[in-house]
Amino acid sequence: MPRRQYPRPNAIRRPSDAEIPDAEWIRRVPKTDLHCHLGGGIRLTTILDEAARQGIRLPATDEASLRPHVVKDHAESLVDYLEAFQITESVMKDARALERVAYELCEDAYRENVRVLEIRYAPTNYRTDTLKLFHIVEAVLAGIGRAERDFDMLVGLILCGMKHNEASIEETARLAADYRDSGVVGFDLAGPERGFKTKKYEKLLAPVFMSFVPVTIHAGEAYGAKSIAEAVIYLNARRIGHATNLFELSGLADYIEITGLGLEVCLSSNLHTRAIPSIQSHPVRQMILRGLRVSLNTDNRTVSNTTVTRELQLAVDELGFRKGEVIKAVKDGVKSSFFRKAEKRWILDRIDQDLATLDPA
């Protein structure tokens, strides 16, 4: 019996709508943001307010002077980029501040029509002698819960363990399991990649695995495609954060396609952290054309001076995205999110309704 002919796995599959979207269409289109760090998304005005309230000394006392210390869209290196978090996180070691920052981050996302938002942070980064881990988690969940009541959006919390701190990973894995049914939707491993092999953390994540908490891993940004493979093989990752080096390892992209794993792409921050030399060199368009499940995300809204709207505009202006590719990225964001199937279907139906209004037949 002759073998049936199928399209080749690496064949180009352009989404059907090839029209170039204008800025107004991009502004109005519904959006998702699955890779959004709490500490990188605090408003400058909130940093100043909270520093004054808590008696924290900052390197500047007004917004214009503070901006160069926090907004790193022209960072000279990854080290320079990460220095911003020493300031942003310094005012977030207070339950009231954590709830406020979480709420405002949701509000900022809602204002640009984000329908599905997943916020992530490492609770152990915010611990003090008086602020315990459960306070830190519950304060952020309180801010998220208030935002969901006020705004028409789905918001989930992802807890991050830090690769350079195994005690942090153990504690955070237990927290993720404990709050699995209270608003925590996933677990992440963040921090330096080089010198920290992903597979070594398998045993530490036992509470996450045994509680069926979905896993996303920062990988393929600073170390290469092998870190992506290890995240998938050893840590059962359902999504990969960044994945800029995906195509360096033969067969890996095919596996990502077959299994439907989500790729969390962050164009601006990849440029700012020097993961890519230019936006035009980013492999995201190749990912899209290969049919991989790709979402476009902010990573750090304040530190990278970006929004989802700006990320989509970058994809259009610098990478030639068309309406069909933007819509695919938005819907892939919903499909890749760590929410229940019925919730995803509800959001996808509403997105289709919005798109029909944007592009009436």
Concatenated DSSP letters of 265-311: E-HHHHHHTTSSS-GGG-THHHHHHTT-EEEE--BSTTTTT--HHHH
pLDDT single digits (tens) 251-272: 999 999 999 999 999 999 999 9
Which pLDDT score, from 0 to 100, does residue 6 have? 45
| Cβ neighbourhood burial of 197 (10 Å; 0-12, 13-18, 19+) | middle
207: left (phi over 0), alpha (psi -120 to 50) or beta: alpha
Q: How confident is the model over 187-203, as a mean pLDDT?
A: 81
Q: State the pLDDT confidence band at 76, using cuts at 50, 70 and 90.
A: confident
Spatial distance between the Cα atoms of 273 and 75, rounded to a whole number of angstroms:
7
Q: How confident is the model over 155-168, as a mean pLDDT?
A: 94
User: Is pLDDT at 39 greater than 60 in this prediction?
Assistant: yes
Q: State the pLDDT confidence band at 223, using cuts at 50, 70 and 90.
A: confident
In a domain, 16, yes or no: no
SS3 215: strand
User: Is pLDDT at 18 greater than 80 in this prediction?
Assistant: no
In a domain, 138, yes or no: yes
Listed residue (260, 276, 256) closest to 268, CA to CA: 276
Tokens representing 267 are: 């164009």
User: Is pLDDT at 8 greater than 70 in this prediction?
Assistant: no
pLDDT single digits (tens) 231-242: 999 999 999 999
In a domain, 360, yes or no: no
Spatial distance between the Cα atoms of 358 and 361, rounded to a whole number of angstroms:
10
Contact partners, residue 332, CB within 8 Å, separation at least 6:
262, 293, 294, 295
Bigger pLDDT: 16 or 315? 315
Spatial distance between the Cα atoms of 184 and 155, rounded to a whole number of angstroms:
10
Which pLDDT score, from 0 to 100, does residue 194 have? 64
Q: How confident is the model over 8-14, as a mean pLDDT?
A: 52
Residues 302, 70: contact at Cβ < 8 Å? yes
Listed residue (302, 304, 284) closest to 293, CA to CA: 284
User: Is pLDDT at 192 greater than 80 in this prediction?
Assistant: no
Which pLDDT score, from 0 to 100, does residue 116 have? 98
User: Is pLDDT at 90 greater than 80 in this prediction?
Assistant: yes
pTM of the prediction? 0.94
In a domain, 111, yes or no: yes
pLDDT single digits (tens) 119-135: 999 999 999 999 999 99
Spatial distance between the Cα atoms of 166 and 358, rounded to a whole number of angstroms:
48
Task: Report the percent of the chain where pLDDT is more than 70.
Answer: 94
Q: How many C-beta atoms lie closer than 10 Å to residue 164's C-beta?
A: 11
Q: How confident is the model over 223-229, as a mean pLDDT?
A: 89
Cβ-count burial 43-73 (b if 16+ within 10 Å, e if not): bbebbbebbeeeeeebebeeeeebeebbbbe
Q: Which range marks the domain in which residue 110 is found?
A: 23-355
Listed residue (137, 81, 142) closest to 106, CA to CA: 142
User: Is pLDDT at 13 greater than 60 in this prediction?
Assistant: no
In a domain, 165, yes or no: yes
Bigger pLDDT: 334 or 289? 334
Is residue 118 among the annotated active site residues?
Answer: no
Letter for the amino acid at 102?
A: A
In a domain, 141, yes or no: yes
We report the CATH number of the domain holding residue 328 as 3.20.20.140
Which pLDDT score, from 0 to 100, does residue 191 have? 76
| Tally of structural domains, the chain | 1
Spatial distance between the Cα atoms of 287 and 324, rounded to a whole number of angstroms:
14
Spatial distance between the Cα atoms of 354 and 244, rounded to a whole number of angstroms:
31
Task: Report the percent of the chain where pLDDT is more than 90.
Answer: 86
Q: How confident is the model over 141-149, as a mean pLDDT?
A: 98
Letter for the amino acid at 97?
A: A
Which pLDDT score, from 0 to 100, does residue 220 have? 85
Which pLDDT score, from 0 to 100, does residue 78 have? 78
Which pLDDT score, from 0 to 100, does residue 83 have? 92
In a domain, 8, yes or no: no
pLDDT single digits (tens) 43-74: 999 999 999 999 999 999 999 999 999 999 98
Query: Across the chain, what does the average pLDDT equal?
Result: 93
Which pLDDT score, from 0 to 100, does residue 2 have? 52
Spatial distance between the Cα atoms of 318 and 312, rounded to a whole number of angstroms:
10
In a domain, 293, yes or no: yes
User: Is pLDDT at 290 greater than 50 in this prediction?
Assistant: yes
pLDDT single digits (tens) 207-218: 999 999 999 999
Which pLDDT score, from 0 to 100, does residue 263 have? 98
User: Is pLDDT at 3 greater than 60 in this prediction?
Assistant: no
Among residues 112, 171, 221, 264, the one annotated as catalytic is 221
| Residues, the chain | 361
